[in-house]
């Protein structure tokens, strides 16, 4: 299913009477059959946006379209019927903790009034899909965080939704469990041809699970593109600061794939970020650079980010020399296909 958002606005009123524009003119197109990430800092408007997209809340103005059809104006029975085909999972799982795993998955099917035998058959299949067949009769309170999220995923899929919204679904999980849940979501997305919208504040989630991403800042879209585009050519300061968090010294550096982070050799910041996309390797380009031009370079840090389809090598380097020589050297790097950026303060690992 394709989702289009057209100029959505949602303004809250604070207790002191001030207007808070939580979502402030958001337009987006979410491709069918893909995983679309929405990343933003706390307070950026992610939860509000996802509540509007999933028809839990109405915008003050603007429109939400599913496959070209306006859905934000639905009410009553039409809204209930449409919402049944929307799956949602949350950071805190929202399960009945005294019920068993199977009874939690059965819940939305019971509400629809399916016969008991059909419910049992569907629940068995769903628990199998999320790898929890042997935990069907365990009370949820006895399951681990990862297992709880698997139950929540099975429940979200019970009514064969065409879209799955994940609101910070892995934020309460450790890095290993996060990866296994993201892998499961991707696998299910492919199997069921689902459109998945993943709201997160972690660039690792975007890197490991998404095809497209929109960066939300202060209620507006700062930039949007494929994950590869955002990782290789970040345009906005907020995107850059998210990427900087993946560098050593960044706030998320200690979790998530240590083998694919950057390795830091020096405490000081590098002046340029050089990105090598795909099979390109940095070494010969840099040794040629040193031979051809009268510049010095010093590598501060380096590493590889593994995206689902592509690897991106990143080097943080100091480059010094005369202004003209430096400009020629940078042009040479660019002509060789290296993506060159001046490091910002956020990336200087203060
Ligand atoms: P995020 O999910 O990115 O943290 P939210 O959508 O929760 O962002 O919040 C965006 C802004 O809207 C914040 O300033 C928040 O305080 C405000 N906000 C969210 N929900 C409400 C509400 N129900 N009433 C008043 N203000 C709200």
Q: Answer yes or no: is pLDDT of 207 > 80.
A: yes
| Out of 90-94, 222-226, 245-249, least confident range | 245-249
Cα distance between residue 40 and residue 236, in whole Å: 12
Say what the pLDDT of residue 261 is.
55
The rounded mean pLDDT for the chain is 88
Which H or E run contains 284?
Answer: helix 282-292
Ligand 1: which atom is nearest the Cα of residue 14?
Answer: 25
- pTM (predicted TM-score): 0.80
**Closest residue by CA, ligand 1 atom 12:** 22
Q: Answer yes or no: is pLDDT of 259 > 70.
A: no
DSSP 8-state secondary structure symbol assigned to residue 269: P
Q: For 107-144, how does the pLDDT look when each residue is reduced to its tens digit (9 = 90+)?
A: 999 998 999 999 999 999 999 999 999 999 999 999 99
Say what the pLDDT of residue 251 is.
43
Q: pLDDT band for 260, please (50, 70, 90 cuts).
A: very low
Burial status of residue 350 (CB atoms within 10 A of its CB: 0-12, 13-18, 19 or more): exposed
Residues 337 and 280: beta-carbon distance below 8 Å: yes
Handedness of CA 192, 196, 200, 206 (dihedral sign): positive
Handedness of CA 78, 81, 86, 92 (dihedral sign): positive
Say what the pLDDT of residue 285 is.
82
Cα distance between residue 12 and residue 77, in whole Å: 27
Residues in contact with ligand 1 (CB, 6 Å cut-off): 12, 20, 22, 40, 42-48
C-alpha 27 to ligand 1 mean position (Å): 19
**Closest residue by CA, ligand 1 atom 5:** 45
**Closest residue by CA, ligand 1 atom 15:** 43
Cα distance between residue 117 and residue 1, in whole Å: 30
Q: Answer yes or no: is pLDDT of 58 > 90.
A: yes
Q: Which of 160, 158, 153, 210 minimizes the C-alpha distance to 186?
A: 210
Exposure letters 87-103 (e unless 16+ CB within 10 A, then b): bbbbbebebeeebbbbb
Q: pLDDT band for 281, please (50, 70, 90 cuts).
A: low
Q: How many CB atoms lie within 10 A of CB 190?
A: 11
C-alpha 22 to ligand 1 mean position (Å): 6
Residues 301 and 270: beta-carbon distance below 8 Å: yes
Say what the pLDDT of residue 274 is.
87
Q: SS3 for 257?
A: coil
Q: For 14-45, how does the pLDDT look when each residue is reduced to its tens digit (9 = 90+)?
A: 889 899 999 999 999 999 999 999 999 999 99
- Show the tokens assigned to 226: 């494929």
Ligand 1: which atom is nearest the Cα of residue 219?
Answer: 10
Which three-class secondary structure string do you get for 39-78? EECCCCCHHHHHHHHCCCCCCCEEEEEECCEECCCCCHHH
Q: Computed over its alpha carbons, how large is the radius of gyration of the chain?
A: 23
């Amino acid at each position: 299913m394709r989702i289009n958002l057209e100029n959505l606005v949602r303004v809250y009123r604070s207790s002191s009477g001030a207007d808070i524009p939580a979502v402030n003119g958001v337009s987006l197109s979410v491709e069918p059959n893909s995983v679309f990430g929405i990343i933003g800092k706390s307070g950026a408007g992610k939860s509000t946006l996802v509540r509007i997209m999933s028809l839990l809340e109405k915008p003050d103005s603007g429109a939400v379209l599913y496959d070209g059809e306006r859905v934000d104006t639905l009410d009553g029975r039409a809204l209930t019927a449409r919402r049944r085909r929307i799956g949602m999972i949350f950071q805190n799982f929202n399960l009945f903790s005294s019920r068993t795993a199977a009874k939690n998955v059965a819940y939305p099917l019971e509400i629809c009034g399916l016969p008991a035998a059909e419910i049992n058959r569907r629940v068995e299949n769903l628990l199998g899909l999320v790898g929890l067949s042997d935990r069907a009769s365990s009370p949820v309170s006895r399951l681990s965080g990862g297992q709880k999220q698997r139950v929540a995923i099975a429940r979200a899929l019970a009514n064969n939704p065409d879209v799955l919204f994940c609101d910070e679904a892995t934020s309460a999980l450790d890095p290993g469990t996060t990866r296994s849940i993201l892998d499961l979501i991707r696998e299910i997305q492919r199997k069921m041809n689902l459109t998945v919208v993943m709201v997160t504040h972690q660039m690792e989630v975007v890197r490991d699970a998404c095809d497209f991403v929109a960066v939300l800042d202060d209620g507006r879209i700062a930039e949007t593109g494929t994950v590869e585009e955002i990782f290789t050519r970040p345009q906005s300061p907020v995107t850059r600061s998210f990427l900087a968090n993946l560098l050593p010294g960044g706030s998320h550096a200690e979790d998530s794939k240590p083998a694919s982070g950057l390795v830091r050799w020096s405490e000081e910041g590098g002046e340029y970020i050089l990105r090598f996309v795909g099979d390109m390797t940095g070494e010969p380009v840099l040794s040629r650079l040193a031979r051809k031009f009268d510049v010095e370079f010093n590598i501060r840090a380096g590493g590889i980010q593994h995206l689902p389809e592509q690897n991106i090598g990143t080097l943080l380097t100091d480059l010094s020399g005369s202004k003209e020589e430096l400009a020629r050297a940078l042009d040479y790097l660019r002509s060789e296909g290296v993506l060159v950026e001046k490091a910002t303060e956020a990336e200087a690992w203060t």
